[in-house]
Structure formats: structure tokens, C-alpha cells
Amino acid sequence: MQLKRIAHAALLLAGLALSGQALAEKQRLEFWTQSLAPKFDPYFKNLVAKYNAANPNVEVVWVDYPWDVIRTKFTAAIASGKPPALANMDVPWAYEYKQSGLILPLDNLIDKNQYVAGAVKDVTFDGKLYAIPFYNGANVIAYNTELFKKAGLDPKLPPKSFDMQLSYAKTIKARTGVAGFAPTLGPTKIEGLLIQEGLDVMKDGRAVFNSPEHVAFVRKLADAYKAGALLKDNLFAQDNFQVSMAAYNSGRMAMLVTVPAALTRVRDDAPNIYKVTDAAGAPLGKSGIASGGWQFTFVVPRNVDPKLVPEVAKLGSYLTNAENQLAFSKFAGTLPTSKRAAMDAHFQTLPANAGAVEKGLVAAAKNLDVTRTIFLAGVKDAELLSTKLSAAIEQAVTGRKDAKVALDEAAAFWNQKLGK
């Protein structure tokens, strides 16, 4: 595997570098972020200036790369023996680098108690902490209270489970003619829905999503689809967010599951719909996991100069401390991973005349301890396999194939690809 070959080469280069060089008096610490420039230029430049002024023994430098470039740059930097001190990675990428032995465990360097439980679990692999939590997302459910009333539903009682959401959607469709919501059934998304609902996708390296419980779940989806309760626009696409937003904003859909920051688009693009929109925490799945988590972190390359590691950890703690996370989250509209930042009034107290945006933010913050980044860990050709599973779900939900047959065929495909 290429990343593993790079790991061995990188360690060799690190050893050579250390034997032949004395440390410079002023250490340069580069940290990389992804796709945060130019919007966040003032934020990071201010952060760096403060740190450098308070720590004259180091020179911190911020570098931003586009999201589709940073992995290539990071891997090449490690291979060349000139890695950055810290690099901004999402959880699946951090897991891949951990599996390849290219990043350091950080348990003895970082106080993980300063971060919320869900964020720490996301980056704890094989019992060790492999990344510094930074910022996160978390879903909420926005709903049209007028459509709820027309359907005979109490707007003060939003759905508390996925089953309840399906039931509400069928009632709304039957009594108003409007679709209820659009679940995420497309490639790379369907696994998250199954796992959140307590339905394993894999076990002991084999696909196990064709059990009677899985079949029953898919048949519930098919029943809702047949009733017109699910928005059919792009329902099985990898990303159905844009059409879902458009449907909600035009009154063609009653419930929108999204991150709080996205509700500003309802507020700004559809003010009449926003007036009758309320927001609550997205239903927790049977696993107890809140949906919508996609955490970004900082990882430390394994071949960073060992003498610099304490300074690197200090910088990582600074970038993700409560004060700085709070400022970043307010600016970016994200959720913090710092416990203390999450307890700030910004996330805990509704302002007077709060709208759905503010209600959604507070609701999402309450779920942070159970918000997780769900992904297929350590699976080769994960996107291909996910596409096959999503296609099987589409066949079953639209009635073109029996659910049991469709899931059996997809599981057989997976296990053949997995060598099982």
C-alpha cells in the first residue's frame, strides 16, 4: 500500500534529519487548513499574530489548501520528510492516515477532557486519540408548522424518532398533499442512516445488511414512498440537499433535516415559509446517535521532529481551545467540539424573538455528546460498494424488486468484493 511505503520512508528521513541538524533557535510551525481562505483570513491571521507574540521561541505559519488538494500535499510532505506541524483532516481521512501509520497518537499530549464526548469518540481509534477535535456539524429538523396544523399534528410535538417521522410524513401527505421529508438514501449516505438506526452494515468483515430487521426497515421506506410521503426529487442521489431545500422553501415539503446554519437560506430566500418554521433537534436513531456529524480535526504527522512535538501539541490546543472555537463557530456557523465553548450562552440560551435559526443552533448543541461522524472504516472501494447498496435500496423502495431479494443481491456483491 502506497501510504505504508511512505510511512517507512518518512521515518527514515526523519532520523537522517535529526542526526544531521541542530534545532534552530526559532522553530517554524506550519499548520494547514482546508478551504478556509479567503473567508477566514482575518480570523487565522489574528490567531497567528497573537500566538507568535506570546511565544517568541516559535514562528507559526498558517497555510490553507483547497479540500481536493490538501491530502495529496500532506502525503507528499510526509514522504519528503518536511511535514507541517498540524494538518486539518476530517475523521475518515484521519482514520486512513492512522491505519497507514502516518500520524501520531496524542493521548499524552492533549487534554481530551476539554472536548465533548462525541468528538473524542470520533477520533479514538483502537483505544488511542489520533486527532485534535476542531469543529463539527449536527442536524436539526426544521418543520412547517402550518402544514403540521393542516395535517392535524401538534407543532409543539416534533418527531422524536425516524419511525415517528415516517408516520408524520404519511399523515401530512394524506391530509395536505405535500411530501413529508427526504431521507438520505443515496451512495455514501445510506450506510449512515442504517447505522444510526442501529442496523449494522458490516460485521466481522462481512456485509450483514440483509437481515430480517434490515428488510423490515427498507419495507417501511417503501411503504412511505408508495404513499407519497417521501420527496421523490433526487431521492436516491448522493446529494439531495439542494432539491430538498428548494422543496421546503416552496412549501412542497413539510420537514427539512439539515444543519442549523443552512436555515439562514430559509430565512433569507423564503421569508414567508420561515415565519411558520420551527426547529428542533433531529430525531436520534435507535443507536442513540444524532445525525449530521462531520467533524474536522487537526492531525500530527508521525515524522514531525520529536523535539517539536510538545510545541505542536501546545499549538493544537491553542487553535482548538474554548475561546478560539467559540469565535470560529460564531463566525462560521459551525458547532464547537470544546465543552466550554458548547456551554456558552450562544449555544445554550435562546434570544428574545428567536427564530428557527437560533432554535436550531441551541437544539443541535444539546446533541453534541451523541453527534458522531459515521463512515465505513477500513473498507476498500467503499464508494463502489455504497453505490451498489443504494441501488438495491432504490429498487426495493420504488417497488421494482422485493426488499429481501435486492438486499441479498447487494450483500453478495459486497462479500465477493470483500473476499468473504
Nearest to 74 by CA among 6, 11, 158: 6
Q: How confident is the model at residue 16 (pLDDT cuts 50, 70, 90)?
A: very low
Nearest to 188 by CA among 393, 36, 417, 401: 393
Residue type, 163: D
Map grid coordinates 455504497 to a residue. 386
pLDDT at 18: 45
pLDDT at 23: 46
Whether residue 21 is predicted with pLDDT greater than 90 in this model: the reply is: no
Whether residue 385 is predicted with pLDDT greater than 80 in this model: the reply is: yes
Cell of 381: 472501494
Least confident among 79-83, 217-221, 380-384: 380-384
Whether residue 22 is predicted with pLDDT greater than 80 in this model: the reply is: no
Please report, rounded to a whole number, the percentage of residues in the chain having pLDDT higher than 70: 94
Q: Max CA-CA distance within the chain?
A: 77
pLDDT at 19: 42
Q: How confident is the model at residue 420 (pLDDT cuts 50, 70, 90)?
A: confident
Whether residue 320 is predicted with pLDDT greater than 50 in this model: the reply is: yes
Nearest to 32 by CA among 164, 171, 134, 155: 134
Q: List helix spans (H) across 21-90.
A: 41-54, 70-79
Map grid coordinates 502506497 to a residue. 2
pLDDT at 148: 98
Q: How confident is the model at residue 4 (pLDDT cuts 50, 70, 90)?
A: low
Query: Do residues 122 and 292 make contact, with C-beta atoms less than 8 angstroms apart?
Result: no
Whether residue 9 is predicted with pLDDT greater than 60 in this model: the reply is: no
Phi, psi torsion values for 100, nearest 5 degrees: -90, 0
CA–CA separation, 271 vs 167, rounded Å? Answer: 28
Least confident among 50-54, 69-73, 238-242: 238-242
DSSP helix/strand/coil, 29: strand
The mean pLDDT value of the chain amounts to 93
Whether residue 379 is predicted with pLDDT greater than 90 in this model: the reply is: no
Whether residue 10 is predicted with pLDDT greater than 70 in this model: the reply is: no
Between 50 and 23, whose confidence is greater? 50
Mean pLDDT of 137-145: 95
pLDDT at 2: 53
Residue type, 69: V
- Nearest 10 degrees: CA dihedral of 333, 335, 336, 341? 80
pLDDT at 17: 46
Mean pLDDT of 382-398: 96
pLDDT at 6: 52
